[in-house]
Amino acid sequence: MIRTLLIRGMLVGVVAGLLAFAFAHTFGEPPVDAAIAVEESHSHSHDHAAMSMAADAAATPVDPAAVAAGAPAAQPAAEEELVSRPVQSTIGLFTGVVVYSAAFGGLFAIVFALVWGRMGSSDPRVVAAVLALVAFIVMVAVPQLKYPANPPAVGDADTIGIRTGMFWLMILGSFVAALLATFIQRGLSRIYGTWNATLVAGAAFVVVVTVVMLLLPTIDEVGADFPAAVLWQFRIASLGTQAVMWATIGILFGLVTQRALRAR
């Protein structure tokens, strides 16, 4: 049973990845190109200033003592691009999104097998839809409220490790808050009813998540001259890509599972 659900989840994840790739390529690549253009314009300005300084230096006699002391004689050449931009926006994006979605489709199937029968509804479509919605909120929406996605031209390369670690800590805090809310909802539903228990559990989730956000440091490396429209479009596209993936997994997995049960 688990093996069948796992294979089914991964296949559903592949379909979700195809739809997510189509969305990301259509709505995500234009702001990425715009962000790269902004970065290149800044780089060209810097190079022009460097060339002006080099021209001034060439007009000045060279001090042999400075050269002997270790002063650089020439600037290093620019690094070559390992993967071209067309490959990144097509094959690279397709491979990354589909593999990512297939992996989470398999994990989704395992979690579905664990919780199915323990929720209020036995309809696989309802269970899958609720699980997908919770996964999107816990793993995507809440973490991006604290640490939203940034386009290529935003962020310091030296802080990528810190930013990645803080993002995963935010996901962990959101996951712990969701577990706590689940225990509260199950414990109070017998006393106060499902509706009231769900409201209390939701409030507890919001409180815990807010505390985690306040404890984690704020990281803002967006330059003052970076176009706000490009940043907004990229973040919306990033969020939309995840929404398409999780919505497809939740709806399609529940539908396929229900048909399989009917066939049995």
Q: Within its chain, how far is the Cα of 226 from the centroid?
A: 21
Cα–Cα nearest to 25, from 75, 72, 91: 91
pLDDT at 228: 86
pLDDT at 102: 96
Residues 122 and 20 in one domain: yes
177: which residues sit within 8 A by CB, 6+ positions away? 138, 204, 205, 208, 209, 212
Whether residue 165 is contained in a domain is answered as yes
Residues 140 and 176 in one domain: no
Residues 103 and 35 in one domain: yes
- pLDDT score of 82 more than 80: no
Total structural domains in the chain?
A: 2
Whether residue 76 is contained in a domain is answered as no
Residues 160 and 133 in one domain: no
On average, the pLDDT of the chain sits at: 83
Both tokens of residue 5? 């659900």
Residues 90 and 201 in one domain: no
Residues 230 and 217 in one domain: no
Q: What is the domain range of residue 163?
A: 156-221
pLDDT digits (tens, 9 = 90+) for 144-192: 999 998 887 777 777 788 888 999 999 999 999 999 999 999 889 888 8
Residues 102 and 196 in one domain: no
pLDDT digits (tens, 9 = 90+) for 99-156: 999 999 999 999 998 888 777 667 889 999 999 999 999 999 999 999 998 887 777 7
Residues 209 and 164 in one domain: yes
Residues 23 and 110 in one domain: yes
Whether residue 142 is contained in a domain is answered as yes
- pLDDT score of 47 more than 60: no
Residues 129 and 254 in one domain: yes
Whether residue 259 is contained in a domain is answered as yes
Residues 202 and 103 in one domain: no
Whether residue 172 is contained in a domain is answered as yes
Cα 210-211-213 angle, rounded to 5 deg = 65
pLDDT band at 226 (very low <50, low <70, confident <90, very high): confident
pLDDT band at 251 (very low <50, low <70, confident <90, very high): very high
